[in-house]
Structures are given as structure tokens and as C-alpha cells.
Amino acid sequence: MLGPESPLSLKVEDGQVKVLDIIRKKYVAFTPEEYVRQTLIHFLINEKNYPKNLMSLEHEFKLHGQKKRADIVVYNNEAKPLMIVECKAPTVKITQDAVNQAANYNIYYKVKYLLVTNGTDFYTFSIDRKTNQVKSLKVIPDYEDMKE
């Protein structure tokens, strides 16, 4: 997993474990995928200097007439999307289908960076929109390195 354990705030409500989502500012169901999403958010903020106020979670949009939801979208100061993040549960192997899902979302967002993770495996890609070349990155970029 990502470095030191993140300080997730949990509570039980109506018999269900919930985690505090610091972006949406509310408690949400603590599913395996949500564990990955919340842990990643803390990592991006604390280790990679991503501004909390420039992240959107479960962002809904329409693609080919169908409603879709991006797990995390990271923006710049001008509200232009920089990165799409697709989170899977820790037990889900990252396959080409998961990468394709993020790539398909990029038809809508047109970002430069894609990140697909299950909390253990990370696949980060940089996209050159002029040449349509996709490059696999060895690390998750710092926020400052993503800004254009």
C-alpha cells in the first residue's frame, strides 16, 4: 500500500462502517474500493502536494449518452482537469479493461494524466494530446509537475 497508513476517520452508523471523505466532507460507506480511494486521497494531499480543493470524487458526466462516474478528477487552478484516477478494490487485479475504462473517460475529460490503482499496483500514464502518444510513468507525479 501507499507508505504510512493514512489517518482515516471511521464510524459505525446503523450497523454500517463509514469513512470520512475529506473531499466531499461527509461519511460514506467504507467499501474496499472506498478504502483505496480514501487512502490514495490522503497520499496525494500529504505526499504529492495535491490541493484538496482541486479534487472531485465520483464526478458524474455523460459519455455517448450514458451516465458515468470518475472516481477522482484532479484539476488545476483554472478548473481544467489534469488527471483522472480509477480506483479498484485491493482484491481486483488491474487489467487492460481498467486502463481502458480510464482512457474512455478521457474522451470526455481530455486530461494529460491517467492513474489506475487497486492500492497496491499503480499504473500512471502521461498523454501527449498533440502526438497522441501515451507514456507509462514509473511514479505518480507531484502536483506541481502536472501543472501546465
- Evaluate whether residue 107 is within a structural domain: yes
- Evaluate whether residue 4 is within a structural domain: no
Q: CA-to-CA distance for 18 and 79, rounded, in angstroms?
A: 29
CATH code, 40: 3.90.1570.30
- Evaluate whether residue 2 is within a structural domain: no
Indicate the SS3 state at residue 56: strand
| Domain, as residue range, for 113 | 10-146
- Evaluate whether residue 1 is within a structural domain: no
Q: pTM of this prediction?
A: 0.89
Question: Each residue's pLDDT tens digit in the chain (148 positions)?
Answer: 444 555 889 999 999 999 999 999 999 999 999 999 999 999 999 999 999 999 999 888 888 888 988 999 999 999 999 999 999 999 999 999 999 889 888 888 999 999 999 999 999 999 988 888 889 999 999 999 997 6
Which set of grid coordinates corresponds to residue 117? 490503482
- Evaluate whether residue 124 is within a structural domain: yes
- Evaluate whether residue 5 is within a structural domain: no
Q: How many domains, in total, are found in the chain? A: 1
